[in-house]
Structure 1
Amino acid sequence: MRIRKFAAIDIGSNAIRLLVANVIEQEGKEPKFKKSSLVRVPIRLGQDVFTNGEISKINIDRMTNAMKSYRLLMDVHGVEMYMACATSAMRDAKNGEAVVERIKKKADIKIDIIDGKREAQIIASTDLHNVIAKEKDYLYVDVGGGSTELTIFSNGKIKTSRSFKLGTVRLLNEMITDDDWKAFEKWIKRNTKDLKRLSLIGSGGNINKLYKMSGTTIGEPLSYIYLNAQYQFLQSLSYEERISELGLNPDRADVIIPATRIYLSACKWSGARKIFVPKIGLSDGIIKTLFFETSKKDKSASNILSF
């Protein structure tokens, strides 16, 4: 048995996460991926970028300190390799590259600012075999603070994917136009119209929270009817009540409503009535990407040596 440690840093528009995972390798068996530690810091970069066009000094300092902490945590865990990916907020920030350089210098962490297509590819590489049935079709929806990634799975394979600047923090700041919603609707309808027995697969912190709140048995899907009822209920509560009565974190209590709206819209326009919620996302995809890329390099080196 061989146990390897990898780390993923997901720099999103609403929060920054560090995931440390163990990959267990055994002769003749598929590798097992087991989460070891997850740290989430609610630095809302999107609030800066989507309203002012750049990351503020106070959030640059907070982000730098978070990265210093993540570097120390990775060292303590004995991580052999990491990947740090920044998404929508950093993509749009005028000073995004300058922030990347600062963090490399101050925290010794290299950050890759990835485009929407790459983000969708990494997310789609996550382990979905326990959810996807080859004879069925799925619309995979990953909702973030700055963007939503959509992927169509048909016959067990990726058919197409697209990233939209439709995120929870953008919605909160009223930065989504009718044209943005129409483009989202048009893409979903066009790419799902010929698919039958379609279900939704939802990922992201908000749908994970909604799933947990529902008390649904793990592995069973949420229903569209439940999600719609929960949306109405959440809207009936004030921001303060969502924190005090439902126990939501302050940085979750506001974005959970626009996130639910996005999932409901995807269901409505695709015709899906079931939403599967596996606990996967960009961080999980990064871990898998790191492992399989290093495994390929190890095999190539082994082949060269044996030759």
Structure 2
Amino acid sequence: MTNIITPPHKRVAVMDLGTNTFHLLIAEGGQASYKSLVHQHIGVKLGEGGINKGLIQPDAYKRGMDTMHDFHRQIVAQDVTAVRAIATSAMRNAGNGKDFIRDVEQSTGIKIEVINGDSEAEFIYKGIKAAGCLTLSNSLILDIGGGSVEFIVGNIDSIFYKHSFEIGAARLMDKFHQTDPIPADAVNELNKHLETHLTELFNSISDLRIEQLIGSSGTFETLAEVIELDKGHPFDIEKTQKYNFNYDDLVAVTDRLVNSTHAQRAGHEGIIPIRVDMIVVASLITRFVMDKLGIKNVVMSTSSLKEGVLADMLNQR
């Protein structure tokens, strides 16, 4: 008789397949306390050259497939017992997104779930909540992706508002950031674009008192790292779960990034290659929301969608 050995802990893999970055998180344990075994992010740039045309371009398609094959090898090597691969804006809207999903399943066996904007926002909320960033007061969670931006208003008990807007950094860069540094008239046009597309947001939350803005991973990790490194402080994002911004520091760094050249950003050790260009429009989105709502208390959380999916998986016994 063959002995069946049950792993001492549930071991799961979560893939967050975003417009800019594909993330792989392999962890084991329980929802309240888990151990991260693999935490990887690859700058796939799935939306490059086609984000506003509704197609994944051939080079981006190949980068995506190569990354999924690599993720599959790691999942097999780690003896994972459950897998979820979540796709968001780029694959939702790409005419050949279904082809990509089919090719991944045929070559790796991984079934990609394409979720809608509401589900995306729900998972982001769960990730932020699991990280312990929410209180009894209302927070506005802001998650800036390449294809979409999620806005969630809630506290530790409830969500009061959630919506996904197709105004992600890759889309805005394609429309407005063609010259570097970004010209003042392009900044004005981008702000007008945000004003038009976020009217529903501001109308819906006008009666809610919001105490803080929680920036979910990505952009906000970069902003925190640039601020700390410029002060001469060591900063390890892998060991940082939460960061409280000083308002003046945040205003200064976003101003500087918006007025910087590509070479200046690329030469900063705190800005990873995938964010060198998109950090400009992401900074503009952040400042627009802060100024519009008069928010000065801003927090960064390294947790986001994948941690929300992970919390669900580890909680399923």
Asked if TM exceeds 0.5, the reply is: yes
1:13 to 14, 19, 22: 19
3-state SS, counterpart of residue 163 of structure 1: strand
- Equivalence for 1:92: 93
Q: Deviation per CA, 1:200-259, whole angstroms, max 9, x where unpaired?
A: 011131111211222399645213432221111113321112112445232211011111
| Range that drifts further, 185-194 or 77-86 | 185-194
Match in the other structure for 1:27: none
Aligned to 1:53: 54
Closer/same/farther in 2, CA of residues 45 and 155 from structure 1, 3 Å limit: closer
1:188, 1:270 within 8 Å by CA — same for their partners in 2? no
Q: Does 1:249 align with 2:272?
A: yes
1:132 maps to what in 2?
A: 134
Determine what percentage of the aligned residue pairs are the same residue.
24
The answer for unaligned runs of 5 or more in structure 2 is 1-6, 177-188
- Residue identity in the other structure for 1:76: A
Q: Secondary structure at the match of 2:212?
A: strand
Q: How does 1:147-296 map to 2 (within 5 A)?
A: 147-154=148-155, 156-174=157-175, 180-196=193-209, 198-215=211-228, 219-292=242-315, 294-295=316-317
The DSSP-based 3-state class of the residue aligned with 1:21 is: strand
Instruction: Return 5+ residue gaps in structure 1 as ranges.
Output: 25-29, 296-307
2:124 touches 2:308 (CA, 8 Å); kept in 1?
yes
Does the 8 Å CA contact 1:227/1:260 hold for their aligned counterparts?
Answer: no
Which shows bigger deviation, 210-219 or 100-109?
A: 210-219
Amino acid at match of 2:283: T
Asked if 1:38 corresponds to 2:72, the answer is: no
Structure 1 residue 148, shift from structure 2 partner: 0.5
* C-alpha distance after superposition, 1:102-144 (max 9, x if no partner): 111012211111111111111111252622221x111011110
Aligned letter for 1:264?
R
For residue 55 of structure 1, what is the amino acid of its counterpart?
I
| Deviation string, structure 1 residues 42-101 (Cα, Å, up to 9, x no partner) | 111112332442112222222112111111101111211111011111111001111110
Runs of 4+ displaced beyond 6 Å: 175-179
Give 2:295's aligned amino acid. Answer: A
Distance (whole Å) between structure 2 residues aligned to residue 185 and residue 93 of structure 1: 23
TM-score (norm 2): 0.83
What is the aligned-residue RMSD (CA, Å)? 2.4
Distance 1:89 1:220, change over 3 A: closer
Contact 2:123 2:305 in 1 (8 A): yes
The alignment partner of 1:50 has SS state of coil
Greater shift in the superposed pair: 136-145 or 213-222: 213-222
Question: Which amino acid letter does the alignment assign opposite residue 237 of structure 1?
Answer: S
The amino acid across from 1:214 in the alignment is I
Q: CA deviation at 1:152?
A: 0.7
> How many residues were matched structurally?
288
Q: Map of 1:90-129 to 2, 5 A cutoff?
A: 90-128=91-129
SS state at 1:174 partner: helix
User: What one-letter code is carried by the residue in structure 1 that aligns with 2:135?
Assistant: A
**One-letter amino acid of the structure 1 residue matched with residue 310 of structure 2:** I
Residue 13 and residue 197 in structure 1: after superposition, are their counterparts in 2 closer, same or farther (change >3 A)?
closer
Residue aligning to 2:81: 80
Alpha-carbon distance, 1:10 to partner: 0.9
Aligned equivalents of 2:313 and 2:49: distance in 1? 30
Report the TM-score when normalising by structure 1: 0.86
Quick check: 1:131–1:278 contact (8 Å CA) kept in 2? yes
In 2: Cα distance, 1:202 partner to 1:105 partner: 36
Contact 1:120 1:151 (8 Å CA) reproduced: yes
